[in-house]
Amino acid sequence: MIVTLLATETRKPTDLETYLSRTLALALLALAGLTVLLSGMLPLTNDLSRAKEEDVVEGKMGDPYAYPTLVVTTIYQALSAFYLYTQIASAGWSFGFGMGLVATSTLFCMGIWVLLFASEKGRISKSTGADKRTSNFPFTNETSAREKKKESKQQRKSLSSKSR
């Protein structure tokens, strides 16, 4: 393979090279399929009634392999994007490397987004449905339930202190 890349004249690939290239392509397709299945995006049970509505509302993923699979595939996409970037930087722009860089960078960004904001690590309030990790710094959200609750407590305290 390396000798073929270094050769100045073009030649037809051998049967072994064709076989190995197609096998690698099928292995990557199998890896992509396993990633989709193990990440919990598709239900692996044939009974859809087993899925709890509470888990869907609270944003929990039911599959224990979802988070590790997401971490591994995000790292893979980052390394692939870095490799493609170095190839473009050293050899120049080509359509294949460019589209590969765009695709892997997009998948890497989506993986980071899901790791940060859509994983089961989030804390969702049962009463309001809001994420409990958010704060109102530096802007205040005066229409939120938390702010209204604080205001009502302060009003009650001020009324009780005035009545004494």
Which pTM value belongs to this model? 0.52
| Mean pLDDT confidence for 20-38 | 79
Cα 154 → chain centroid: 41
Kindly report the number of other CB atoms within 10 A of residue 39's CB atom. Answer: 19
Torsion over CA of 40, 41, 43 and 48, rounded to 10 degrees? Answer: 120
Structure confidence at residue 102 (pLDDT)? 94
Instruction: Work out the angle at residue 70's Cα, subtended by the Cα atoms of residues 122 and 81, and round it to the nearest 5 degrees.
Output: 125
Cβ-proximal residues to 61 (8 Å cutoff; 6+ apart), any chain: 40, 55, 67, 119, 120
**Single-letter amino acid, residue 37:** L
Q: Which pLDDT tens digit goes with each residue over 145-159?
A: 667 788 888 888 887
Kindly report the number of other CB atoms within 10 A of residue 119's CB atom. Answer: 15
Structure confidence at residue 57 (pLDDT)? 47
**Single-letter amino acid, residue 112:** I
**Single-letter amino acid, residue 103:** A
